[in-house]
Chains A and B, each alone.
Chain A
Amino acid sequence: MDLNQLKIKSLEYRKTILDIIYKSGAGHTGGSLSCIDILNVLYNKVLDINPKNFNEKDRNHYIHSKGHSVEALYTVLCDQGFFSRKDLEKLNHFNSHFIGHPTRKILGIEHNTGALGHGLSVAVGLALSKKIDKKTNKVFSLLGDGELSEGSVWEACTTASKYHLDNLIVIIDRNDLQITGKTEEVNPIEPIDKKFESFGFETISTNGNNISELLNVFKEIPIQKNKPTVIIAKTTKGSGVSFIENQINWHHKVPSEDEYGRAISELNEKLNSYE
């Protein structure tokens, strides 16, 4: 899949995210749009996780620690063939496993997340299991920036560093916003890079909404042997739809009919530019 195809995927994915949130009447629009390019590159170019190898032990793993951005994950997993679009249309229906946070009841999802600050410890445990088994598989985990206030994140970092988990890649969706407002106003978390460095990580920053930059970053990991990696992916909350970008109220706002129409038109215009 070449760069243009990936860029087209990102636009299509954004349409799907908006579509399923609009139709189901609930979802985390802003955060799903901010991390979708990261998931696009991971699932289409990096992870090599698919419905055929998902139940195998020796493969790479992905833990979606910022569980609320599940619509982005559902969208990419659907595209990878883990389930049908018809299944995904059951989002938030009564008795559906497609709910507002990931669960292992759905093929393709590794771990039940939703409460923040949990995914990294689980990813550390998985990465440790690979080291114990002398396998070279990698474990990736995506965390939100607001999530970094959870103390358990930093507990996990100490273990990742102690056991030299260079098979662990942490990605921070650094969109600068959380439900209350700007992260640096709610509870300042900068300097993120220096914090992780002091916890024994190699850090690298990138534009998390730029496909070619992301592709380059993932080619470089692990940055240093014997050290876990953190990728600080600078993103825009609501990325890709002008009136949703950087708006706090779009954390979990559902588009109205008018907003949905305008968002899809905007994305279609961008898609047309590729044809």
Chain B
Amino acid sequence: MNKIGKPNLEIFSETLLSEAKKNKDIIVVTSDSRGSGKLVPFGKELPDQIIEVGIAEQNLVGVSSGLAAGGKIVFGVSPASFLTARSLEQIKNDVAYSDRNVSLIGISAGISYGQLGSTHHSIHDFATLRAINNMTIVAPADNFEASQAIKQSVSYDHPLYIRYGKKPMMDIHPPGTEFKIGKSIVVKKGEDLVILATGETLQRAYLASEILKESNIHCSIISMHTIKPFDKKTFIEFSKNSKAILTVEEHSIFGGLGECCASLIAQNNINVKLKILGIPDEYMINGSQADVLDHYDMSPEKIAKISKDLLNK
């Protein structure tokens, strides 16, 4: 059984603190988000490397861009919901179009805020940011991916968005796994179907694959931690040799992982069944992140059931 690790958000803040101790040019910008971003220790240990702009997300992104223009390696940290909606124009113009070395960190992403409701959910961030040229989008799944994403972002001198959730995550990847922004990770290989997941839903897909194994159904599990640029090569290779594809994401069914796969299947004439799991277009049900994901068919059991249905088994 895989070990349950820490919340990815904690891994983010620990990794960033350790990187920033080594590199004085790393500057964090927060919008009254120091606590929710687990950055209180960062503020105490490196007070000269943190800028606080208050509850002003548009300004956070603009200031981040300016700091980057001044040669800094900038991490703009704010709740994913506000960062990627309220500040969308600043992301588009001041970071992406102006090609600044800014890593935008969307904290408590997806439906991490649970009962706080739709104002606080970011189920639109993949869709909106995918349509912005020159943006890279990363959703780490486990603690390993969470720390690797930050380590690589330090030397990734282009616009980057990384989203983090706040529930403890199961360790998925064994030691020695390679992580590279833009390259998916094949967690396991199986001949019956391919389940692709991104971010925190990878854990659920992985557990579903364990359930399926009991019914002698073997699936491939792929961690699509980078939503853009999408690892087309791996996806096409697996989908051509598979009977069915299932995608799982903590995001709207529109414009995210699933629709990206659908587009690639259609445009590459691949004959494979596809099912997209995500948040449907409706007034969202309220509950904890876990309960909401379960409700929208993303419990391991439901993922396993839907997989069987796809295979007519």
Interface size class of A (residues with CB under 8 A): 20 to 34
Of the residues A110, A115, A128, A130, contact of B63 by C-beta under 8 Å: A128
What is the chain B residue whose CB lies nearest that of A122? B66
Name which of A61, A104, A114, A155 has the most chain B CB atoms within 10 A of its CB: A155
A49 → chain B closest CB, angstroms:
14
B131 → chain A closest CB, angstroms:
16
Find chain A residues with CB under 8 A from B65 CB: 111, 121-122, 125
Chain-A contact segment, one of B92-100, B172-180, B214-222, B254-262: B92-100
What is the chain B residue whose CB lies nearest that of A113? B93
Cβ B62 vs Cβ A152 within 8 A: yes
Q: Is the interface of A mostly helix, strand, loop or mixed?
A: helix
Q: How many A-B residue pairs have CB under 8 A?
A: 103
Q: A121-B62, A126-B67 are in contact. Are A159 and B53 (CB under 8 A)?
A: yes
A232–B98 Cα gap in the complex (Å)? 28
What is the chain B residue whose CB lies nearest that of A131? B70
Q: A112-B93, A115-B93 are in contact. Are A129 and B67 (CB under 8 A)?
A: yes
Cβ B93 vs Cβ A152 within 8 A: no
B271 interfacial by beta-carbon distance below 8 Å: no
Which residues in chain A, 94-136, are within 8 Å of chain B measured between CB atoms?
Answer: 103-104, 110-115, 117-118, 120-130, 132-133
A160 → chain B closest CB, angstroms:
10
Of the residues B61, B97, B98, B99, contact of A121 by C-beta under 8 Å: B61
What is the chain B residue whose CB lies nearest that of A117? B58
B72 interfacial by beta-carbon distance below 8 Å: yes
B191 → chain A closest CB, angstroms:
49
B68 interfacial by beta-carbon distance below 8 Å: yes
24 intermolecular pairs with C-beta atoms under 8 Å apart:
A112-B98, A115-B93, A118-B89, A121-B59, A121-B62, A121-B63, A122-B63, A122-B66, A124-B62, A125-B62, A125-B68, A128-B51, A129-B66, A129-B67, A133-B71, A151-B58, A155-B53, A155-B56, A155-B58, A155-B59, A158-B53, A158-B54, A159-B51, A159-B59
Of the residues B53, B70, B90, contact of A130 by C-beta under 8 Å: B70
A142 interfacial by beta-carbon distance below 8 Å: no
What is the chain A residue whose CB lies nearest that of B48? A132
A169 interfacial by beta-carbon distance below 8 Å: no
A77 interfacial by beta-carbon distance below 8 Å: no
Cβ A126 vs Cβ B93 within 8 A: no
Q: A155-B56, A155-B59, A159-B59 are in contact. Are A127 and B66 (CB under 8 A)?
A: yes
Cβ A121 vs Cβ B66 within 8 A: yes
Cβ A129 vs Cβ B93 within 8 A: no
Find chain B residues with CB under 8 A from A126 CB: 66-67, 69-70
What is the chain B residue whose CB lies nearest that of A124? B63
A103–B98 Cα gap in the complex (Å)? 8
Cβ B72 vs Cβ A132 within 8 A: yes
Which residues in chain B, 52-87, are within 8 Å of chain A measured between CB atoms?
Answer: 53-54, 56, 58-59, 61-72
A235–B69 Cα gap in the complex (Å)? 30
Cβ A118 vs Cβ B90 within 8 A: yes
What is the chain B residue whose CB lies nearest that of A141? B66
